[in-house]
Structure formats: structure tokens, C-alpha cells
Structure 1
Amino acid sequence: MKERRVVITGMGIYSCIGLNLAEVKESLFAGRSGIQFDEKRKAFGYRSCLTGMVEMPNLKADLSRRQRVSLGEEAAYAYVATKEALQNAKIDQDFLDSNEVGVIYGNDSTAKSVIESVDKIREKKDTTLVGSGAIFKAMNSTVTMNLSTIFRLTGINFTVSAACASGSHAIGMGYQLIKAGLQDCVICGGAQEINELAMGSFDGLGVFSMNTEDPTKASRPFDAARDGLVPSGGAATLIIESYEAAVKRGAPILAEIIGYGFSSNGEHISTPNVDGPSTAMKKALEQAQLAPEKVDYVNAHATSTPVGDANEAKAIASVFGSHKPYVSSTKSMTGHECWMAGASEVIYSMLMMQNEFLAPNINIEEPDESAAELNLVKKTLNKKIDVFLSNSFGFGGTNSALIVKRID
């Protein structure tokens, strides 16, 4: 069977730099940070109290009590992002009811829902008081199980658990299934809860920025003075379809996914290397049958950690050589959205492609030695993008790279 083309037909986003596509586009163009100081973390014992923050959506008008009782924080964010993505793709419930649509979403932990359930049992000494929705909120697959039942989906249904590459691998898996002819349409994305219960052990590793004087300047990927990442979250959803299926239903075709590369570092559990990311990017280029010089822009994974940013800069330089595509890390504005990041950063890059600009890597005063070799975007540029590559890497050495091409 001939491999099929895979296109993006819809997007939805719920982010600390905007609660929908229009708001996020404006923030990206303006180089506006969504980072703030969270007083609750200070009282909780955090060393670093910085975070990207979003409000919990009120879904009473959208969902029944029975549906809401199973929705934890990250699943609620994912519902909002998916609702926008389906509208963006011009897909209604009638279409979902009469077609096999799947869901693959990235989510690698669920802290708040688990802790709240256990605390209630400890207090009451009675498991029956924990509530009927507790188990569905607490599982790592909470997002896919909730989205599949709310939207009555009948296709592929599973969660990708791959640290900070989860959202990217979810898109990659959906892409491969459609390419192989096993699905026509898949809802893909990533979600991350934002609360003090979810990030405590991460804070304890000492990898968060301590720059509390100006939270908006704390996340500074590739800058020589960076001192750590800033956690964040929300949800991002993409609707991906086979080109034939999209044309058949008259869908808005936004772009085409042409490559997905992956690898594992096979070394330290938390310290990234150069070879793993390089391999993922090379595999993506190979699958896309694309020469490196055809890539206009790289949305870097760069989280604002000393070792991670430097090694990614070296990897990008090794893959692209004398061709220096524009590079920026949108995490300079959003912080590190963890399990969501691989999906949201494709959407950020898509918004740049659609609106013909490159969002800046804010907070760069002086690039470090490795980053100095890159063509870093320090201020918003009006620029047409035909092809972009988005990097996502995670704990355990998991790496993912996606390549997306404009369709005119």
C-alpha cells in the first residue's frame, strides 16, 4: 500500500501566553512572557516559586456533572484545547459519530488527583468516600479516556508517556498510523497540570531558575547567564488527517507533516547528550527526504538549563552545518510546558508559519559559547517559513523531532 500524506487540519491551545489561538499568536509576535511568581509554592516549601500559570476552566456550560467529575486539571485543559481544535478543523459531533476518529495524547504524570484521593482516604479511613471519578482523574491515561468518551471517539485511543517529549511523540505516532493507512483522522496533543503538588520533586532537583526579581526574565534559553528552567503547562491539540480524507470533507488544510525522527540517548537518566538529539533530527530529515538547507526554522527544545541548551546547540550545529536555519526557543516566553511542550511548540511554530513571522528567543543578552554558533532569533522577524523542525527531548534520554511543511 502506498504511504499516505498526513496533514494538519485543526489546532487548539490553552497556554500561559494565551487561552486560545488568537491570544497566543499575539503573545508570540510581541515576545510576551507568561511567567509569574506563585505565592502558594513559597508556603509549600519550594526553592523556586516561578511558573507559567493558567486558570482552571469553568466547564459547567459545556459538560454534565458526570463528565466533569472524571476530569482532573490536565484533562480539563485538554478538553478546552480539543474543543477549539475541532472547531478550527470544522469537525462537529455528527462527523465524530459517523467516522472512526482516534486520540493519542501525551501525559506522563498525574499528581494532584492522586494526592487528593489518597489524602481523603487517609482522613476518612473509608475508600468509598473518595468519589466515583477519582480513579479516572488519577490515571496517566486520564486525558485520552476522558476525551474519547466526551467526544464519543471510536478510533485508536492511548496515551504516550515519554517525559517532556510526550506531546511530540503523540503527534509522531498519529502521523505514522495515518501514513500507514490504519487511521484517517487522529486527535493528538499534550497536557501538563500546573500546581504546586505536581512540581515539588522537580524543584528538589535544583533545576529551576532562582531569578525571582523579574519572573518574565527567568527563562533564558541559550543565554550565558541562564540558571535553570521555569515549569509551566496547559494543553495543546492538533487534528491530523490523511490528505485524501481532508480533501474529501473539504477540511482547512493548514500544513503537512513530512518527517518524524526519534532516538534514545542510552546514557544518563537526566543529563542530555549531543548524539541522541542529532540522530532524531537526522531521522526526521531522512523520512521527509529533505536536505538540511530546506529547513527555514528550528523550534528548539532548549529549556534554559546549562547543559541541555549547550548540547542541543551543538546537535543543531552538527546536523545543519554551514546552513544556519533560524532558531528560537519559545520556552523563553512560556517556560517548560513539560508533557505538553512537544505539541504546543508545533502549534507555536504553525502560528508563525501561518502569519509569516518568527517569534523571538527573549531574554538573550549574551549567547553562550555553543549557542553563538546558531542563527538565533532575538527579536520578532517578519519572515515566510516554508519548513520548520520542532525538537522535544525528555528524561530517560527520549528524543523526538517533527518536520512540518507549508501547503499553499
Structure 2
Amino acid sequence: MSKRVVITGMGIYSCIGTNLEEVRNSLFEGRSGIVIDKERIQFGFKSPLTGMVPAPDLKAVLSRRQRISMGEESEYAYLATVEALEQAKLREEDILQREMGILYGNDSVSKAVIETTDIVRDKRDTQLIGSGAIFKSMNSTVTMNLATIFGLSGVNMTISAACASGSHAIGMGFMFIQQGLQDLIICGGAQEINPYAMASFDGLGVFATDIDHPEQASRPFDKRRTGLVPSGGAATVILESYESAVKRGAPIVAEVVGYGFSSNGGHISTPNIEGPAKAMRRALVQANLRPQDVTYINAHATSTPLGDANEAKAILEVFGGNPYVSSTKSMTGHECWMAGASEIVYSTLMMQHGFIAPNINLVEPDDDIKELNFVSHAIKQEFDIYLSNSFGFGGTNSALVVKKFNE
């Protein structure tokens, strides 16, 4: 028999809050984390909008040797993971005494690569790069840093799947534990915020253009949406087998019951309807649930014209207009590689505290998707099951189903 997989801890470092309590309040209040980044204006960005987080100062908690191999995404992930481990009641000695793994989503290290290249071009001496640069500039930087900092001895891999990376990391962690290969895994996603990471996106013209009103720029599903707003940070969930959690008396936050995945197999950046619908159906089948069992859907919806419309049509195809639907990206912007993990944290916080966060800035949806049960203002609503969508470039799709824990 497959094992039950539960969440015993969560942590978040986001533009709407740098801990669970701050984020919960922002979600309920519909508070936007989008700002104008003056550095992007100097870089020549068409859209200087972004979600911004405070720069971490880890000097008091990590040694210089540890810090020099960490870029910003690893620093965000470290802080999110510390919070998650604390909630899961996992101390350093507990981690060292058992096999604990890490599966984390990440798909860029732009700043580290550019800074290293600049040194070589300018100084013509590779020895001036520094001993930590290689560990900053590898895509697996988050998992290699956290695995060594926390002394992990289990599975250790980075999941690189564009904007579905964080979701796939949780989905794969779910499968590892379900099949008895691991009992305890740190899962999540991280995203660098610096301009280097977003310049090529800006060049594609996919970013929102309403720079006069930053907090209104991200408007998923709304007729007047003009594009996405980039963001970042990190989110961590501790996945654990039910048996392990009960044995050590861990707090059980929620239960992961389904993971669906698919590939569109078409255009590298243009989404379709069939792929997302297939992922959602697969997640429901694995969870042994019917569409009507799902109360809330946290949509991937990034505020792009075609992406939002096609996802909405896929949701209508699978679920009809019954479940509540909102996109927390209306507040956070698109957290890219992190988003699939952070939106599990956001949705689980809602489920824990009996509310559904709003899709802010949604005044009028497209005519052909008005049947969806959109939440444009926060509502108090108890619910037991939700589905979270994450889709990425290359046509990669992930859908996770999470339910309130019942023994």
C-alpha cells in the first residue's frame, strides 16, 4: 500500500510577508507586494514593476564559508526552510539522526553567472573569481547549499521546470514518500529577484505596462490585464510520511493527496487547454476525488491574455463553474520558479484559517470565462480540499491536490 504524505511544516519569504503570519494577514487583506524598482529603470527595462523582498543578513547565523557559496535564491530558501523546520519541530540533532532529503525548484542563477563572467572579462584572471562562485552559479545551488548547511543525507536534487519547478518538487517529494523511498523531505522553490534574471523576459514584452499604479498592475483574468509582474523569494514545505509524523509527535498541517503532470507538446511559450486539463484530471484520479469535491482552485493565472484565458477554459472543462477560483499572483506577482511552492503555502494558510484570498484587481473577466466562480474580495469560507495549478515554458504542467488532515 502507498503511504500517506502529510505536510508538517511550512516557511515563506515573499513580497507579501517574510513569515507565515505576515503572509496570512496580507492574503486576507488583499495586500499587494508590487513596487517600482528604480534599478530596472536604469537598466532600460520597459516595465520596472516587481515584487520585492528584504535582502537577508545571515552573518549572525551562518559562517563566512557557508555564505560565500550562496546567492540570493539560496538565502531566501534558507530562511523559508528554517521557519518550516521550526514549525515541524525538527531540531538540528533530529535531522542529523535520520535520513532527510531535499527536492527544491530552481531554474536560474543569472546574477551569479554574470558577476563571474564580468570578473573574468575585466581581470583576465580566473583565480580572482573566488572559491564560492562555482556553487553560486550552478542551477543546483539551493539544494547543494541547504543539504550541507542542514546536514541532509537523503535524496538531494534540484527540479528545473520553469514556472512549475516548485510544484513539481513537491509532487516528486510526494511520490518519493508515497512509494516508501523516503520518510522526510524538504521541498520548495526559490526565485532570484535581481534585474539580470528578468531582462530577457522584459525584452519579450510580457510584463505589465501599468507602471503608474504598481499595486494594480497584476490583474489575472481581468479584461484589462496587460501582462505579468515578476517577483521572487522562497517557499518551503516539509513533507513527511504519516507514520513518521505520528511517531515523533509532529504537528500535521495538511495532507497531499494528488499530483498531476503533463506536457503540452506544442509551442515553447504559448499555453494550450489540453495540457493543463490533463494535469488536473490526473491529480484528481490519483487523489481518488471527483471534480465536485474540490472547493477552491489557486490558479496559475499570471495576468497574461492568452495564458489566463486558456487556463480558465481548462478549469471550466474539468470542474465547471463550481469551485472558487482566484490567483494569488494578483498580490504577489509571478514568483516564477518559486510560485508552485509558495501557492501551496498560501492555499494551505487559507484552508487552515477558513478564508479564500481574493483575486485583487479583477473588475471584469473575459466574456467567455465569466462562468467561473471568481473570488474578487476575500471571503470567509471553510474548505477541506483545494487544487493548485502551476504551468511553465516548454509546456510543463503540474497540479497538486491538498486536503485538510483527518486521522
> TM-score scaled by structure 1?
0.99
Verify the 8 A CA contact 1:168 1:392 in the aligned structure 2.
yes
> For residues 71-109 of structure 1, what are the alpha-carbon distances to aligned partners after superposition, in whole Å with 9 as ceiling and x for unaligned?
001000000000000001000101110000000000011
Q: Percent identity?
A: 67
Shift of 1:55: 1.4
Aligned to 1:116: 115
Amino acid at match of 2:380: N
Q: Aligned equivalents of 2:32 and 2:383: distance in 1?
A: 23
Partner of 1:255: 254
Q: Which residue of 2 aligns with 1:383?
A: 381
AA aligned opposite 2:100? V
**Separation in 2, partners of 1:265, 1:205:** 21
Cα distance per residue 1:163-188 (max 9 Å; x no partner): 00000000000000000000000000
Q: Which residue of the partner structure matches residue 49 of structure 1?
A: 48
| Pairing 1:260-275 to 2, within 5 Å after superposition | 260-275=259-274
Q: Give the structure 2 partner of residue 368 of structure 1.
A: 366
Distance 2:346 2:369 in 1: 21
> Counterpart in 2 of 1:339?
337
* DSSP-derived class of the 2:188 partner: strand
Q: 1:403 aligns with which of 395, 401, 404?
A: 401
In the TM superposition, what is the alpha-carbon distance from 1:385 to its structure 2 partner? 1.4
- Counterparts of 1:47 and 1:324, CA distance in 2: 39
1:235: how far off? 0.1
* Cα distance in 1, alignment partners of residues 405 and 43 from structure 2: 48
> Counterpart of 2:312 in 1: which secondary structure?
helix
Q: Is the 8 A contact 1:276 1:397 kept in 2?
A: yes
Aligned to 2:137: 138
Judge conservation of contact 1:313–1:370 (CA < 8 Å) in 2: no
List gaps (5 residues or longer) in structure 2. none
* 1:44-193 equivalence runs, <5 A: 44-193=43-192
Cα distance in 2 between the residues matched to 1:349 and 1:370 = 26
Deviations 1:301-325 (A, max 9, x none): 000000000000000000012x510
d(CA) in 2 for partners of 1:277 and 1:164?
Answer: 13
What is the aligned partner in structure 2 of residue 208 from structure 1?
A: 207
The amino acid that maps onto 1:388 is: Y
8 A Cα contact 1:4 1:243, kept in partner: yes
Look up the SS of the partner of 2:387 in the other structure: strand
Deviation per residue, 1:13-36 (Å, 9 max, x gap):
000000000000000000000000
Q: Deviations over 1:307-357 (max 9, x none)?
A: 000000000000012x51000000000000000000000000000001100
- Please give the alpha-carbon distance, in whole angstroms, between the structure 2 residues aligned to 1:197 and 1:254: 37
In 2: Cα distance, 1:62 partner to 1:372 partner: 50
Q: CA shift at 1:373, angstroms?
A: 1.6
**What is the alpha-carbon distance in structure 2 between the residues aligned to residue 243 and residue 371 of structure 1?**
39
Q: Is 1:224 aligned to 2:223, yes or no?
A: yes
* Runs of 4+ off more than 2 Å: none
**Which amino acid in structure 2 is aligned with residue 54 of structure 1?**
V
Letter in 2 for 1:399: N
* Aligned counterparts of 2:258 and 2:348: Cα–Cα separation in 1: 15
Counterpart of 1:286 in 2: which secondary structure? helix
Secondary structure of the 2:270 match is coil
* Amino acid across the alignment from 2:334: H
> Superposition pairs for residues 272-283 of structure 1, below 5 Å?
272-283=271-282
Secondary structure of the corresponding residue to residue 45 of structure 2:
coil
TM-score by length of 2: 0.99
Deviations 1:346-391 (A, max 9, x none): 0000000011000000001111123312100011100001000000
Matched position secondary structure for 1:194: coil
Tell me the secondary structure at the aligned position of residue 185 of structure 2. strand
Are 1:37 and 2:25 counterparts?
A: no
Distance in 2 separating the partners of 1:207 and 1:125:
37
Kindly provide the amino acid, as one letter, of the partner of residue 194 in structure 2: N
Q: Render the CA deviation track for 1:219-241: whole Å, top value 9, x for unaligned.
A: 00000000000000000000000
1:28-73 deviations in whole A, cap 9, x for unaligned?
A: 0000000000110001010100000011100011100000000001
State the one-letter code of the partner of 2:232. Answer: G
Tell me what 2:12 maps to.
Answer: 13
2:389 is paired with a residue whose SS is strand
CA separation in 2, counterparts of 1:215 and 1:59? 30
Distance 1:201 1:42 in 2: 15
Segments of structure 1 that go 5 or more residues without pairing to the other structure are none
**Would the aligned equivalents of 1:13 and 1:344 in 2 still touch at CA under 8 Å?**
yes
SS in 2 for 1:246: helix
AA of the residue aligned to 2:403:
K
Q: Cα RMSD (Å) of the superposition?
A: 0.6
